[in-house]
Each structure stands twice: as C-alpha cells, then as structure tokens.
C-alpha cells in the first residue's frame, strides 16, 4: 500500500490508538484518529478523586500483555501502580478461603482434584489444542490457526489442528468434553466478574484467547501490572506521543464509500480518505455509515454485555480492607448481583470503591439498570461495606461477541475475508477480544497484514 495513503481510524480506544502507533512505525504518517468523546482510552477509564485516579473500566494487566508493553516502550514509561490483592466472600458477606487448604481443610479433596484438572488442562491446551492462543479468531471454526503466538517474541505461527473446532462450544461444554470441569472455578474470577459473560453461553475461544494458560496463571499468582495514573493513562500517553493526536469531540454523521475513496462527514464537514479502519463497535456501524448487505448480515449477529460499574464512598468505619470476589454471584442464577468490588489504594481509606455487575444472559430479558443498582447497593450492605454515597456510574457497551452457532458457522472467517473490501478494515474488540491487550495486538496484526 502507498505509504502516503490517507487513512481514517474511527475510535481512540486501545485498538484505534494502537493502530495509529503501528501504522506510524511502518512509515504511514498520513492517518487521522477520530474520537466522539472528549477523552481517549475507551473502557480504560480512570477518573480522579482526591488527587488520585481510580478505575471505572479496565483495572490491570499481566506480563503477557505484550502489545501494552509495546506502548510502554514506544512512549517510555512502565507499569508503576499500586500492588493489588484480593480476598473472597460468600453471598452472605462472610470472608471465605476457597483456595487455602490450611484455612479450609474440608476442601482439600476438592482442591487436589481441581489442581489435577488444571494441570491436565494446561497440557491439553499445549498439545490437543495447539494454536488455541494466537491472537484473533481466523480459521478456528475450520480447525486452523494463523497469527501471533503468545510469547515474548510473538512469532508468526500457522497450522492445521481440527481439534480447534471444539473452541466454538460454550466454555462449560468445552470443559466437560475434556473432563476438566473444575478449571471453571479458576477461570471464572478474571472472566465473568470482569464482565465477559457466563460459561454456559460464551464460546470457549473467547475465554481462552483472553485467558490463555500463561495469562490465567499470572492472575492466579497475583502477578499483575497496574499504572499509577490508571489504565487510561496508557492511552493518554500514547496519544500524546503519536505524530497525529486523536481529534476529540468528533461526531461522525456519515461515512460514504465510493469510487475508491471514503468520505467521512465529521462535525458537519466532509473529509476525504483512501482507507478506513473501524475500531468503534461494528454493530453500530450502520447507524452512521453506508453499511452494505454483507456487512449488515454479519454485524447484526453481534451481541454484547450490559456491564455496570459504580464508584461509591463507604460509610465511615465500613471501608473494605481489600478487594473482594463473590463467586456465588457469578452464576446465571444470580445475574444482577454484586460480583466483585475493588479497592485500588491500600494506604488511603478516603477513596472510591468500585462495584462490577452483569445484567444480561443469552435468550433472557436484560435486567433494568436502576433495579440492578438497588440490588448492588443492598448487596453492599450484606457484605458489611454499605455505601454512603455513589459518586460515579458506568453503564458500558461491553465485550461484543457472537454466540457458538454463528462462530461455528464461520462468522470470523467470512468477516476476515471482507477485510479491505469497500476500502474498509475492521478491528476493535469483536475481532479479537474485549480486553485492552487483545484489541491492541489485533491492530498490530491488521497493520502487518494489510499495510
């Protein structure tokens, strides 16, 4: 592609800003990033309270976040935030020790069985499911893998593996198929509580692209990265470093693609481009663009999570000592209840605590936002950490995905085959996974493949 091509990137979240970085590193300087909000970072949202930032969206990373590390190196900073920790409570607010045999000796047989299954699972992923962890979903439904390996070198790998078709099953069924049902007790913490849905509905491919074995073990061992100024600061720094900063408050009212050009109407003015990279939600592309029949056919199949975060100040003397996970509330039967609440700073009791809640499940009515908020506030009372004041709320369009039947039918292969058609390229959460590293890594591969 001509290095002087004029490229429009829609969205200044991790995917869009990373696309700008990788384009720049390949010698493409004629790019424009358009962002409708007044800030960059997308779901990496780190407001300030009392001089310190807290997290309303993404919280942390792990050492296998290689694309995020690319950004750190490009901008010259590192992960310098507070050390995180966590404990667990049951649904009645009692502190429990689900993984500690010394404090919970009755659980020893269960824990030994779980440990055995986790070991078996790791071996299966490396052998039977070789290629499961490459970035993106291209070829999985056909029993192929093709992409970057999850290694420090991130070498390009490809191959045939018919067993990968199993990844189209819901994760619960995938675990049952392989006789490792208890690994769900480990994977659920960093998966469902972080808003990515329930194991009986979400294809295993999504779970394992995000929580490959290496990444999961980092979560288990609390080998975590944080950033003093929040995850949003990663993308603020990248935006500052790019030659072409994102244009904020950019309202796109139309996209028209014709005669080898892309015409984008931004804040009432028509701008002409050669290529378009869409990192904003594809399910909403038709709201402003000249969506074609084949695009609409696939984009209409995208579902998403209704995931809410709420920052509150606890009542005096009721500040939680740490972050708490409530596993009993991470089931479809307890949808709408508090799953985790998060304390960021250990040394400061005058800080917001943030709650995390899901409101939808496949084939069920979406729960009402205000009613769910009341449930969460009641749950905080049960947890013995009642809220004195709610200071911030986030109602997120979260984790766009397709379900097993569409995944198995080749949704990803068909959409990938459309890359470049209509001078348009598709990136962002749906093309990889909804965490900041997977979306950034997909932008890297997209630029590598097509630019």
Give 123-160 pLDDT, tens digit per residue: 999 999 999 999 999 999 999 999 998 888 999 999 99
What pLDDT sits at residue 82?
96
Strand partners, 32: 8
Q: What does the pLDDT average to over 317-324?
A: 96
- Residues 412 and 288 grouped into a single domain: yes
Assigned domain for 260 exists: yes
Determine the average pLDDT of the residues in 25-41.
98
The CA-to-CA distance between both ends of the chain, in Å, stands at 6
Q: For residue 249, is it within any domain?
A: yes
CATH of residue 328: 3.30.70.1990
* Span 445-449, average pLDDT: 97
Same domain, 331 and 372: yes
SS3 state of residue 52: strand
Q: Which of 311, 389, 319, 383 is nearest to 350 (CA)?
A: 319
Task: Judge whether 256 lies within some domain.
Answer: yes
Same domain, 394 and 407: no
Write out the two tokens for 113. Answer: 């069985």
Does residue 339 share a domain with residue 443?
no
Whether residue 440 sits in one domain with residue 397: no
Q: What percent of the chain has pLDDT over 90?
A: 98
pLDDT tens digits, 406-438: 999 999 999 999 999 999 999 999 999 999 999
The parent domain of residue 343 ranges over 303-401
Helix (H, G, I), strand (E, B) or coil at 304: strand
Residue 277 has pLDDT above 90, yes or no: yes
pLDDT recorded at residue 324: 98
Residue 374 within any structural domain of the chain: yes
Residue 308: strand pairing partners: 357, 395
Please compute the mean of the pLDDT values over residues 183-190 and round it to a whole number: 97
pLDDT computed for residue 124 by the predictor: 98
Mean pLDDT of 283-290: 98
How far is it, in rounded angstroms, from Cα 437 to Cα 352? 26
Q: Which CATH number characterizes residue 198's domain?
A: 1.10.405.20
Kindly tell me if the per-residue pLDDT of 1 is higher than 90. Answer: no
Crossing angle for the helix pair 14-25 and 231-241, nearest 10 degrees? 40
What Cα–Cα distance (Å) separates residue 67 from each residue in 74, 165, 290, 333, 440? 11, 27, 32, 36, 6
Number of domains into which the chain is organized: 3
Residue 106, burial from CB neighbour count under 10 angstroms (0-12, 13-18, 19+):
exposed
**Burial classification of residue 111, based on how many CB atoms lie within 10 Å of its CB (0-12 exposed, 13-18 middle, 19 or more buried):** middle
Q: How confident is the model at residue 347 (pLDDT cuts 50, 70, 90)?
A: very high
Same domain, 362 and 444: no
Domain assignment present for 96: no
Residue range 323-338, pLDDT digits in tens = 999 999 999 999 999 9
Residue at a domain's end among 220, 237, 257: 220
Question: Is residue 92 one of the residues assigned to a domain?
Answer: no
Q: Are residues 177 and 257 in the same domain?
A: no
Q: Which residues, in sequence order, are bridge partners of residue 53?
A: 48
Q: Rounded distance, CA 235 to CA 9, Å? A: 15
Band of pLDDT at residue 106, cut at 50, 70 and 90: confident
3-state secondary structure of 158: strand
Same domain, 238 and 203: no
Domain endpoint, select from 193, 220, 247: 220
Please tell me the predicted confidence (pLDDT) of residue 430.
Answer: 98
Identify the CATH number of the domain in which residue 251 sits: 3.50.50.60
- Same domain for 368 and 339: yes
pLDDT interval class at 400 (50, 70, 90): very high
C-alpha–C-alpha distance, residues 404 and 425, integer Å:
24
- Per-residue pLDDT tens digits for 376-397: 999 999 999 999 999 999 999 9
Residue located via tokens 């979400």: 202
Indicate the pLDDT class of residue 44, thresholds 50, 70 and 90.
Answer: very high
Is the residue at 89 inside a domain?
no
CA atoms within 13 A on the CB side of 241: 21
Q: Do 385 and 424 fall into the same domain? A: no
- What is residue 367's predicted lDDT score, i.e. its pLDDT? 98
410 and 397 share one domain: no
Residue 88 lies in a domain: no
Final residue belonging to a domain, choices 220, 249, 265: 220
pLDDT at 174: 98
3 state SS of 266: strand
Report d(CA 138, CA 145) in Å as an integer: 7
pTM beyond cutoff 0.85 = yes
Residue recorded with tokens 């709201």? 287
Please identify which residue in the block is written with the tokens 């402003």: 288
CA-CA distances (angstroms) from residue 184 to 216, 301, 327? Answer: 11, 27, 11
**Radius of gyration of the CA atoms of the chain, in A:** 22
Torsion angle in degrees (nearest 10) through CA of 314, 315, 319, 323 = -30
Q: What tokens appear for 257 in the block?
A: 């693609």
pLDDT at 104 over 90: no
Query: Is 225 strand, coil or helix?
Result: strand
Concatenated DSSP letters of 67-113: HHHHHHHHHT-----PPP-EEEE-TTS-EE-TT-TTT-GGGHHHHHH
Q: Are residues 110 and 216 in the same domain?
A: yes
């Amino acid at each position: 592609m001509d290095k002087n091509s004029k490229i429009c990137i829609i969205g200044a979240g991790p995917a869009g800003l990373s696309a700008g970085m990788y384009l720049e590193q390949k010698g493409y300087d004629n790019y424009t990033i358009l962002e409708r909000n007044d800030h960059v970072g997308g779901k990496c949202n780190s407001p300030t309270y009392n001089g310190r930032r807290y997290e309303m969206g993404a919280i942390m990373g792990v050492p296998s976040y290689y694309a995020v590390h690319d950004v750190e190196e490009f901008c010259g900073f590192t992960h310098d935030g507070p050390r995180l920790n966590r404990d667990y409570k049951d649904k009645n607010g009692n502190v429990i020790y689900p993984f500690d045999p010394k404090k919970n000796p009755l659980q020893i047989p269960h824990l030994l069985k779980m440990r055995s299954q986790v070991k078996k699972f790791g071996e299966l992923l490396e052998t039977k499911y070789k290629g499961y962890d490459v970035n993106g979903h291209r070829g999985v439904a056909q029993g192929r893998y093709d992409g970057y390996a999850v290694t420090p070198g991130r070498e390009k790998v490809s191959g045939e593996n018919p067993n990968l078709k199993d990844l189209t099953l819901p994760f619960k069924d995938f675990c049952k198929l392989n006789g490792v049902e208890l690994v769900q007790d480990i994977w659920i913490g960093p998966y469902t509580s972080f808003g990515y849905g329930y194991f009986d509905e979400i294809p295993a491919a999504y779970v394992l692209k995000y929580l490959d074995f290496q990444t999961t073990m980092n979560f288990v061992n609390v080998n975590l990265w944080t950033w003093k100024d929040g995850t949003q600061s990663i993308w603020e720094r990248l935006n500052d470093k790019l030659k072409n900063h994102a244009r904020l408050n950019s309202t796109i009212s139309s996209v028209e693609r014709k005669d080898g050009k892309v015409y984008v109407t931004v804040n009432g003015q028509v701008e002409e481009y050669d290529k378009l990279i869409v990192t904003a939600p594809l399910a909403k592309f038709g709201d402003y663009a000249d969506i074609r029949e084949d695009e609409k056919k696939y984009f209409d199949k995208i579902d998403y999570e209704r995931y809410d975060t709420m920052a509150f100040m606890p009542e005096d003397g009721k500040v939680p000592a740490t972050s708490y996970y409530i596993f009993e509330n991470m089931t479809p039967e307890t949808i709408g209840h508090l799953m985790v609440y998060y304390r960021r700073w250990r040394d400061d009791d005058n800080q917001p605590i943030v709650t995390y809640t899901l409101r939808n499940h496949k084939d069920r009515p979406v729960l009402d936002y205000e009613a769910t908020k009341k449930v969460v506030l009641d749950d905080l009372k049960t947890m013995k950490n009642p809220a004195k004041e709610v200071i911030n709320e986030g109602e997120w369009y979260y984790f766009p995905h397709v379900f097993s039947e569409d995944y198995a039918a080749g949704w990803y292969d068909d959409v990938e085959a459309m890359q470049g058609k209509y001078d348009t390229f598709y990136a962002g959460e749906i093309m990889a996974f909804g965490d900041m590293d997977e979306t950034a890594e997909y932008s890297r591969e997209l630029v590598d493949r097509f630019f």
